[in-house]
Amino acid sequence: MDGDASGVEGDNCDWNSEDEREIDDFSLSSSSSLTPPNEETVTGSGEASSSAGSSNSKLFDKFIGMGFTEKMVAKAIQENGEDNTDSILNTLLTYSTLETSPQEQQHIDSDNYSLDCDGSFMDGFSDVDSWSDNEEITNTVFDEDNKLSSLMSMGYTRDEASIAMERCGLNASLVELTDFICAAQISKVEDAHLPVEEKPRPKLPCIVSAKLKKRKQYDYEIWKRKKQALLDDDETIRLPNPMIGFGVPNESHPTIHRTLPEAAIGPPYFYYENVALAPKGVWTTISRFLYDVEPEFVDSKYFCASARKRGYVHNLPIQNRFPLLPLPPHTIHEALPLTRKWWPSWDERTKLNCLQTCIGSAKLTERIRKALEDYDSEPPLRVQKYVLDECRKWNLVWVGRNKVAPLEPDEVEMLLGFPRNHTRGGGISRTDRYKSLGNSFQVDTVAYHLSVLKDMFPGGINLLSLFSGIGGAEVALHRLGIPLKNVVSVEISEVNRNIVRSWWEQTNQKGNLIDLADVQQLNGDRLEQLMNSFGGFDLVVGGSPCNNLAGSNRHHRDGLEGKESALFYDYFRILDLVKNWSNVS
DNA sequence: CCGAACATGAAGTTCTGA
DNA sequence: TCAGAACTTCATGTTCGG
């Protein structure tokens, strides 16, 4: 039954490298990558499949990813135990050597194939059943023509798109197709990098051979290094150091020019934000979807007293930016002058770490107080290190003798550039305030990037704000003095919607605020109706959920395919609709 | 039922010294 | 150049009290 599939798959080496399989494994392991609007039920299965994270299954996946069959891996782990990775690998290499039939060996020879094309490779596709199971529940937003044109609009050739659609099947989601094409491109580059003498495979005897085993291990090492090099060069976007993006205020640097890809040029302008330290490959995918615009990585510590490492993908001009005034405090002491009195000399922090959604517990601050109270002067280095580690981890500040405490919500508001009491009142709990603030923009940073719009839209702008949260973008534009004409704000949390609505009324906005709860309800019809009523959007802002990308998430750091973070694809979907509307009108 | 408190690492990057 | 230490991180699940 899978014989046909294997036969077909085996024909074209370019499309079947380890890289591809690994990327496929990644995209297939979570079922719904492009979740269709109004069909939430799909996510359930993805959640179940993505939550498997035991060391056992990771080890298992690792060897599957190398191209060994499930059966072989299970047997090898059983024989060697989970702990001894080397022994498992050794056993697997022996198995695969034993299982490679003479015909297959011949196949290897004639195809100039590396590791991938032996028996284990063929078996690797024998669990195609689970693949199709996933496919069945993966609904897609795009029909065939739309997929083709979407892929082409992302810069892929018609051939690449067609082949990917043929290979992945008609039900494949857009992200699977792009992953497929990307993998093929990587493997082509990899082939091109192969030294000539390595490409032809030596004639192999059809017996169990230590040489073959050694060779295979050697090939694997070579492959691993090459892949890493390729990932470093082509796949992984390097974070800049210092993380100042295309420039920050008061930083002397040469004027940077950038040329946007044709497809990225507005209208509308768009501005997308997420955590900079996302799992590998996430920013590559985000950038690829957002018209190949290079992300701008900025740490907000260059704007205020706390760090916030974020990536921004936008098509805004980058010349003549200006900061919000007054400039916010740049050090902890400036921001929190009352702490200076209690700050010990051995705590050399001048900036806070990233403001998160949770705060340190009272018990922790009590433990720290107890650890310090035994010493009249400076505590020993061991205690200093313990205290400093915890202070950095939980952003604790000194509020008394031997006494540290987490930041108060209004202090977080101030550090993030929001008006005092922005999140206060209206039935919101203290915990929810921290949560909403921890998930929001740093206003000064975002405002600096958006400042170029002020001269371009003196009469005000129409804003589409997706995943608005507590309205960071709205606040930034308002503080820049850019009038808000029509704002469509989409935010799932009711308390956050209330905060934005309340801010809107308190700041006497003249424009029109439309708030929606669910981004997936914003379909083509609704969007077109909105855009027809006031003439389209000038700016589409959004920071999609980072839950599955953030390092703090122990449980479900599933990458861009995670339950919440996959909403990025809704940002792309909606942005694309807005762009198309603008281009037609 | 809700809110508060608490415990729970790993993945990735950057730094550092040989 | 590179291995290993050091550092950072828009969080989630469970429990408990009101």
List pLDDT tens digits, range A265-286: 989 999 999 999 999 999 999 9
Residues 6+ apart with CB under 8 A from A310: A273, A274, A275, A276, A297, A298, A299, A300, A442, A445
Q: Which of A575, A464, A472, A574 is nearest to A521 (CA)?
A: A574
Whole-structure pTM value: 0.67
Q: Which of A555, A564, A546, A562 is nearest to A54 (CA)?
A: A555
Residues 496-555 of A with CB under 7 A from strand B: 551-554
Arithmetic mean of pLDDT, A137-164: 60
Look up residue A345 and give its DSSP letter. T
Backbone CA torsion sign across A238, A440, A540, A289 = positive
Find the Å distance, CA of residue A93 to C1' of nucleotide B15.
37
Find the Å distance, CA of residue A551 to C1' of nucleotide C13.
17
Residue A52, CB, strand B, below 7 Å: no
Residue closest to B5 C1′ by Cα: A361
Q: Is the pLDDT of residue A15 over 70?
A: no
Q: Over the stretch A460-473, which tens digit does the pLDDT of each residue have?
A: 999 999 999 999 99
Residue A190, CB, strand C, below 7 Å: no
Domains by residue range for chain A, with CATH:
2-235 (no CATH), 262-319+417-584 (3.40.50.150), 332-412 (no CATH)
Q: Which of A63, A80, A93, A68 is nearest to A214 (CA)?
A: A93
Band of residue A238 on the pLDDT scale cut at 50, 70, 90: confident
CA–CA distance, A31 with A23 (Å, rounded to integer): 14
Find the Å distance, CA of residue A385 to C1' of nucleotide C5.
15
Nucleotides of B under 7 A from a protein CB: 2-15
Q: Over the stretch A329-379, which tens digit does the pLDDT of each residue have?
A: 999 999 999 999 999 999 999 999 999 999 999 999 999 999 999 998 899
Q: Over the stretch A483-532, which tens digit does the pLDDT of each residue have?
A: 999 999 999 999 999 999 999 999 999 999 999 999 988 999 999 999 99
Structure confidence at residue A254 (pLDDT): 64
Q: Is A546 a catalytic residue?
A: yes
Helix (H) / strand (E) containing A367: helix A362-372
CA–CA distance, A247 with A317 (Å, rounded to integer): 12
Cα-flanking dihedrals φ and ψ of residue A503, to 5°? -60, -40
Helix (H) / strand (E) containing A487: strand A484-490
Arithmetic mean of pLDDT, A72-77: 69
Cα-flanking dihedrals φ and ψ of residue A276, to 5°? -70, -40
Residue that wins the pLDDT comparison between A70 and A25: A70
CB A410 within 8 A of CB A424: yes
Q: Is the pLDDT of residue A310 over 70?
A: yes
Band of residue A4 on the pLDDT scale cut at 50, 70, 90: very low
Q: Across the strands, what pairs with A313?
A: A272
CA–CA distance, A273 with A300 (Å, rounded to integer): 13
CB A82 within 8 A of CB A56: yes
Residue that wins the pLDDT comparison between A348 and A153: A348
Band of residue A257 on the pLDDT scale cut at 50, 70, 90: confident
**Chain position carrying tokens 């424009």:** A511
Structure confidence at residue A35 (pLDDT): 31
* Residue A574: both structure tokens together: 């909606």
Q: Over the stretch A543-583, which tens digit does the pLDDT of each residue have?
A: 999 999 999 999 999 999 999 999 999 999 999 999 999 88
Residue closest to B13 C1′ by Cα: A277
Residues 452-481 of A with CB under 7 A from strand C: 467
Find the Å distance, CA of residue A22 to C1' of nucleotide C7.
30
Peptide bond into A268 cis (omega under 30): yes
Q: Is the pLDDT of residue A228 over 60?
A: no
H helix runs in A66-157, sequence order: 70-80, 85-99, 102-111, 119-124, 128-137, 144-153
What counts of helices (H) and strands (E) characterise chain A?
25, 9
